[in-house]
């Protein structure tokens, strides 16, 4: 199966593109609803955007509006990553507070505290953030309490055209951070250290456009591999960076899968029944990604023994568990810990995708289950997977989209 470009790279790179003084061409840009929302926001700001296949052409020369409408902010909580770019470009921005989301509270204190240190004046006014800076933002030493992916990205973007040098300590180290740094540097920025704990950004006057290829989506790859593991199948995923998947691949090996990697490819062969995972603990990269927790839980649901999951990144990230239980899974949640007692088989049921990755987990469980499973809430899944059902059907799965549910979720 061919893996499409990474949603979590495309979103910050699109945000950063508004800083450029000429057109950017993004290759391998996935056609996801979250990317569509980003495009809509950028168009509201004044960008002109055109898509040809997987290429996105972004002309940011008309950017003049710094207000992001509330409806669009609510559609995609991660749109806070635009703040650094907008204020850096226009000197002001007005956004609504992203608030909570299906994964629990989604605070943005780290973003705001650091941007304030860089000289941004932020007023919180009845759910809105009214932001302005006199002149340019200025470089600072910024220490994050937690290596937040979004905050690291926001600050890297804001610092690119700030006056002086910014040092981001305890930065997130995800591959998407490196992809954003590569994009920014191609546009003329001076970002060093991405992928390590300290990222240093020397501010430049302006960025120019560039051509950039978005990295493969490691979470989509992990989802396909989890589907193969759950169904006792052999599968090859192509167009991936195996080193981005190390934690996921070693967990799959622990369950008894045979994994072979070569540049751009991962081949997996699953046993007829998986072994349990002793302890799957989600951590910032290079630890096990929280986004792959739900798909792996679907696979562990039919393992021969008990698996223990610990979710350390988000508070409410087990909403798929009660849905899996409707299919016969035995999962007990206590705070951050989920014990998954493997059952010999799941059975089909009617279930609802609670969020993006939880939805993918239910699809995986449905493929492994006896009988038919109906998953509703496809709008969650479409945020991060390009036609998931087509990709799985092409690999031999018996799955189809029922249009009525596609339209109404
Ligand atoms: C990004 C990814 C998401 C992934 C997550 C963790 C995108 C678009 N989304 O989300 O898929 O699950 O990384 O790998 O790239 N936090 C604060 N204050 C802040 C910011 C974050 O307390 O100002 C907390 C969050 O509540 C959460 C943790 O830090 O508990 C991680 O959040 P963060 O790394 O910021 O995730 P996102 O960037 O939102």
Q: Calculate how far, in angstroms, residue 372's C-alpha sits from the geometric centre of ligand 1.
A: 35
Residue with CA closest to ligand 1 atom 37: 150
Nearest CA to ligand 1 atom 21: 148
**CA 218–ligand 1 middle distance (angstroms):** 16
Percent of the chain with pLDDT strictly greater than 70: 96
CB of 108 shorter than 6 A to ligand 1: yes
Residue 408: the pLDDT is: 42
Can you give the three-state secondary structure of the chain, one letter per residue?
CECCECHHHHHHHHHHHCCECCCEEEECCCCCHHHHHHHHHHHHHCCEEEEECCEEEEECCCCCCCECCHHHHHHCHHHHHHHHHHHHHHCEEEEECCCCECCECCCCHHHHHHHHHCCCEEEEECCEEEEECCCCCECCEEECCCCCHHHHHHHHHHHHCCECEEEEECCCCCHHHHHHHHHHHHCCCEEECECECEEEEECCCCECCCEEECCECHHHHHHHHHHHHHCCCEEEEECCCHHHHHHHHHHHHHCCCEEEEECCEEEEECCCCCCCCCCEEECCCCCECHHHHHHHHHHHCCCCCEEEEECCCCCCCCCHHHHHHHCCCEEEEECCEEEEECCCCCECCEEECCCHHHHHHHHHHHHHCECCCEEECHHHHCCCCCCHHHHHHHCCCCCCCCHHHHHHC
Catalytic residue among 20, 24, 29, 101: 101
Q: Which atom of ligand 1 is nearest to the CA of 78?
A: 8
Q: Does the beta carbon of 111 sit less than 6 angstroms from any atom of ligand 1?
A: yes
Tokens of 172: 């997130």
CA-CA distance, 335 to 289, in Å (whole number)?
A: 18
Minimum CA distance residue for ligand 1 atom 7: 8
pLDDT digits (tens, 9 = 90+) for 63-74: 999 999 998 888
Establish whether residue 336 lines the binding site of ligand 1, counting it when its CB lies within 6 angstroms of any ligand atom. Answer: no
Name the band, by pLDDT with cuts 50, 70 and 90, for residue 195: very high
* DSSP element (H, E) containing 96: strand 92-96
**What's the chain's average pLDDT?**
95
Ligand 1 pocket, residue 15 CB under 6 Å:
no
The CB-side HSE value for 166 (13 A sphere, CA atoms) comes to: 33
**pLDDT at residue 145 above 90?**
yes
352-370 residue pLDDT tens: 999 999 999 999 999 999 9
Q: How far apart are CA 306 and CA 109, in angstroms?
A: 38
Residue 253: Cβ within 10 Å count = 13
43 within 8 A of 49, measured Cβ to Cβ: yes
Give me the pLDDT at residue 409, please: 36
Q: What would the pLDDT profile of 270-317 be if each residue is shown by its tens digit? A: 999 999 999 999 999 999 999 999 999 999 999 999 999 999 999 889
CB-based contacts of 338, cutoff 8 Å, min separation 6: 297, 308, 309, 310, 311, 318, 321, 331, 332
Q: Which residues contact 170 (CB under 8 A, 6 or more apart)?
A: 143, 144, 145, 146, 147, 197
- pLDDT tens, residue by residue, 331-356: 999 999 999 999 999 999 999 999 99
pLDDT of residue 9: 98
Atom of ligand 1 nearest to the CA of 290: 12
Question: Is residue 101 annotated as part of the catalytic site, yes or no?
Answer: yes
Domains and CATH numbers, the chain: 7-213 (3.65.10.10), 218-405 (3.65.10.10)
| pLDDT at 199 exceeding the cut of 50 | yes
Q: Which atom of ligand 1 is nearest to the CA of 315?
A: 30
Residue 321 CA, ligand 1 centroid: distance in Å: 21
Residue 75 has a pLDDT of: 84
pLDDT at 406: 45
pLDDT digits (tens, 9 = 90+) for 11-26: 999 999 999 999 999 9
**How far does the centroid of ligand 1 lie from the alpha carbon of residue 148, in Å?**
5
pLDDT at 103: 64
Which residue owns the Cα nearest ligand 1 atom 17?
107
If you measure from the C-alpha of residue 324 to the centroid of ligand 1, how many angstroms do you get, rounded to a whole number? 25
pLDDT band, very low/low/confident/very high, at 193 (cuts 50, 70, 90): very high
Among protein residues, the one whose CA lies closest to atom 20 of ligand 1: 108
The confidence score (pLDDT) of residue 352 equals 97
Q: Is 104 in the pocket of ligand 1 (CB under 6 A)?
A: no
State residue 407's pLDDT score: 45
Pocket perturbation via mutation, ligand 1, pick of 122, 143, 150 by most ligand atoms within 8 A of CB: 150
Instruction: Look at residue 313 in the predicted model and tell me its pLDDT.
Output: 95
- Write down the pLDDT at residue 124: 87
Is the pLDDT score of 99 beyond 60? Answer: no
């Amino acid at each position: 199966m061919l893996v499409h470009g990474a949603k979590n790279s495309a979103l910050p790179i699109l945000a950063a593109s508004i800083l450029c003084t000429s057109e950017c061409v993004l290759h391998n840009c996935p056609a996801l609803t979250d990317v569509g929302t980003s495009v809509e926001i950028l168009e509201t700001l004044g960008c002109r955007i055109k898509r040809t296949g997987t290429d996105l052409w972004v002309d940011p020369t008309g950017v003049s509006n710094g207000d992001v409408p509330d409806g669009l902010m609510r559609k995609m909580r991660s749109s806070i990553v635009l703040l650094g770019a907008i204020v850096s470009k226009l000197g002001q921005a007005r956004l609504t507070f992203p608030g909570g989301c299906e994964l629990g509270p989604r605070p943005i204190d780290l973003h705001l505290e650091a941007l304030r240190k860089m000289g941004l004046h932020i007023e919180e006014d009845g759910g809105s953030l009214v932001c302005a800076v006199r002149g340019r933002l200025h470089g600072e030493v910024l220490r994050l309490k937690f290596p937040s992916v979004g905050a690291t990205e926001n600050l890297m973007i804001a610092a690119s055209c700030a006056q002086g040098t910014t040092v981001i300590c305890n930065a997130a180290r995800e591959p998407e951070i490196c992809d954003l740094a590569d994009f920014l540097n191609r546009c003329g920025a001076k970002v060093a250290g991405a992928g390590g704990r300290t990222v240093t950004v020397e501010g430049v006057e302006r960025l120019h456009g560039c051509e950039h290829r978005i990295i493969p989506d490691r979470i989509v790859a992990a989802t396909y591999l989890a589907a193969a593991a759950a169904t006792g199948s052999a599968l090859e995923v192509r167009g991936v960076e195996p080193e981005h998947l190390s934690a996921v691949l070693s967990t799959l090996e622990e369950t008894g899968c045979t994994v072979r990697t070569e540049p751009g490819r991962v081949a997996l062969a699953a046993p007829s029944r998986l072994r349990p995972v002793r302890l799957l603990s989600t951590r910032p990269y290079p630890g096990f990604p929280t986004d792959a927790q739900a798909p792996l839980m679907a696979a562990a649901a039919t393992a021969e023994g008990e698996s223990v999951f610990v979710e350390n990144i988000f508070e409410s990230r087990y909403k798929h568990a009660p849905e899996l239980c409707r299919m016969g899974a035995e999962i007990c949640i206590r705070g951050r810990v989920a014990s998954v007692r493997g059952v010999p088989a799941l059975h089909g049921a009617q279930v609802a995708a609670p969020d993006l990755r939880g939805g993918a987990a239910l699809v995986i469980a449905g493929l492994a289950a006896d009988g038919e499973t109906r998953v509703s809430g496809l709008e969650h899944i479409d945020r991060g997977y390009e036609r998931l059902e087509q990709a799985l059907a092409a690999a031999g799965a018996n799955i189809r989209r029922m249009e009525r549910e596609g339209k109404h979720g």
